[in-house]
Amino acid sequence: MTTDETIAALRADARFRHAGDVMRAEHERTVADIITLTEIPAPPFAEEQRASAYLDMLQAHALEEVEQDGVGNVMGLRRGFGNGDIVVVAAHLDTVFPAGTDVRVRREGTKLYAPGVGDDTRSLAVNLAFLRAMDAAGIRTRHDILFVGDVGEEGLGDLRGIRHLFAQYPRRERFRAFLTVDSPEVDRIVTGGIGSRRYRVTFRGPGGHSFAAFGMVNPMYAMADAARTLATLKVPREPVTTHCVSVVGGGTSINAIPETVTMEVDLRSASADQLARLEKHFLDGVRQAVVAENAARQGTIVAETVMVGDRPAGHTPNGAPIARLASAAVAAEGYAPSFEWSSTDANIPMSLGIPALRIGSGGTGGRAHSMEEWIDVEIESSLRGMRASLATILALAEMEVAG
């Protein structure tokens, strides 16, 4: 059976159609779940409150082995009938917003506005809707499905939740495929994982009065030189490679040579080899900047370099079965699917050679990572996208189809 035939047979099955009807009937419950979860803060490295609430929600959905692991992920297993492998379906609990952010949801018509509402809280609620629909429709799959709410996807979280899952889950050797449901748009299927290395570099020196101690080494000058090694570097468009000096700080007064300054740097590439070259160029630039500053003025500065993020690059080939199934499921709902690169939880399994994708939760949204983040929960657009992603999950888990 071809990929298109597999998706067509699944969509034609009465149980899949029934699941769609259940999602329609329970749409407002799904919206209520989105609001409830969004209004539970989940700042970086402090996802505990939301994780506890989501664990309770998973326990209410008749899953087996509902638990929280050592790093904070919460999960539950929907058992298949074939004693087969495991398809992992994840959505991340954390948001980019710090503690104290106002996460109350403002509703205007079918739009919901709040920090984190689309990235990735909607997906957490949609995965619960999938569970209810499958159960109500009596859907059975050959393979088990492990539903996960994971920690540490954003920023300096460095994918620690999924990294831990793939290193420590007791039956991880049975993982056959991984799907992260992340962002509303289902037509943009992420098959490529952008790798990244992130550094915090601290330059230290003796400091002194800006006038009286003029001629003393200045850590700020060394930091500026190190930043310039990136600013002047040309990187390839293919494989896509980028760099950014993103955060700087330090110093005590406008009339003082700083004792300490710090910069944080984000290095990215779709290619592990290009990323390694970019990393070497940057680290060499830091060392050369320190040497140059120490030679130019009196005294000595040093640079302390700490890696604060390491996301591996990876790629699920666009022609792989998992990608073809997702594309067919999306096309069956009338979308024009595209394959893209991004940095998501799927980077971890991709780097391990396990088939993995990022798929969408349905509907539309915008302004992610901003205080005006929004999603549209209009029912038809939402259900259309949800059916596409549910079909992808069920095809990978090998849903039992009549006939």
pLDDT the model gives residue 83 = 86
Give the CA angle between residues 383, 386, 389 to the nearest 5°: 155
Alpha helices in 39-121 (DSSP H): 48-59
User: Considering the chain, what percentage of its residues have pLDDT values greater than 70?
Assistant: 100
**Which two structure tokens, joined as six digits, stand for 388?**
């596409």
Cα separation, 209 vs 291, in Å, equals 22
The verdict on pTM exceeding 0.75 is: yes
DSSP H or E segment with residue 5? helix 3-12
Q: Confidence class of residue 393 from pLDDT cuts 50, 70 and 90?
A: very high
CB atoms within 10 A of CB 246: 10
pLDDT the model gives residue 288 = 98
- Which residues, 6+ apart, have CB-to-CB distance to 178 below 8 Å? 87, 88, 90, 345, 346, 349, 354, 355, 356, 357
Q: Say which CATH architecture domain 195-311 belongs to.
A: 2-Layer Sandwich (3.30)
Amino acid identity of 176?
R
Mean pLDDT (whole number) for 93-98: 97
- CATH H-level, domain 3-193+313-396: superfamily: Zn peptidases (3.40.630.10)
Cα separation, 273 vs 235, in Å, equals 13
pLDDT the model gives residue 1 = 86
Mean pLDDT (whole number) for 4-30: 98
Res 366 pLDDT > 80 = yes
CB 316 within 8 A of CB 351: no
**Cα distances (angstroms) measured from residue 95 to each of 107, 170, 352:** 20, 27, 25
CB 194 within 8 A of CB 240: yes
Mean pLDDT (whole number) for 6-12: 98
What is the Rg, in whole angstroms, of the alpha carbon atoms belonging to the chain? 24
Q: Confidence class of residue 192 from pLDDT cuts 50, 70 and 90?
A: very high
Q: Which residue(s) pair with 359 in the sheet?
A: 181
Per-residue buried b or exposed e for 268-299, using 16+ beta carbons within 10 Å of the residue's own CB: bbbbeebbeebbeebbebbeebbeebbeebeb
Mean pLDDT (whole number) for 360-389: 98
State the burial class of residue 173 (Cβ atoms within 10 Å of its Cβ: 0-12, 13-18, 19+): exposed
Res 291 pLDDT > 80 = yes
pLDDT the model gives residue 62 = 87
- Which residues, 6+ apart, have CB-to-CB distance to 286 below 8 Å? 201, 226, 229, 303, 305
Distance of CA 257 to the CA centre of its chain: 40
pLDDT the model gives residue 5 = 97
Res 84 pLDDT > 90 = no
**Which two structure tokens, joined as six digits, stand for 390?**
């549910």
Res 326 pLDDT > 80 = yes
State the burial class of residue 83 (Cβ atoms within 10 Å of its Cβ: 0-12, 13-18, 19+): exposed
Segment 51-79, tens digit of pLDDT: 999 999 999 998 999 999 999 999 999 99
Q: What is the mean pLDDT of the chain?
A: 97
CB 381 within 8 A of CB 121: no
Domain chopping of the chain, boundaries: 3-193+313-396, 195-311
Amino acid identity of 16?
F
Mean pLDDT (whole number) for 104-109: 98
Res 212 pLDDT > 80 = yes
- Which residues, 6+ apart, have CB-to-CB distance to 309 below 8 Å? 155, 156, 158, 196, 197, 198, 266
**Which two structure tokens, joined as six digits, stand for 51?**
């994780």
Cα separation, 399 vs 161, in Å, equals 28
State the burial class of residue 187 (Cβ atoms within 10 Å of its Cβ: 0-12, 13-18, 19+): middle
Cα separation, 86 vs 173, in Å, equals 9
DSSP 3-state of 3: helix
Segment 133-146, tens digit of pLDDT: 999 999 999 999 99
Segment 147-167, tens digit of pLDDT: 999 999 999 999 999 999 999
**135 cis-preceded (ω within 30 degrees of 0):** no
Asked if the domains at 3-193+313-396 and 195-311 fall in one CATH topology, the answer is no
pLDDT the model gives residue 402 = 86
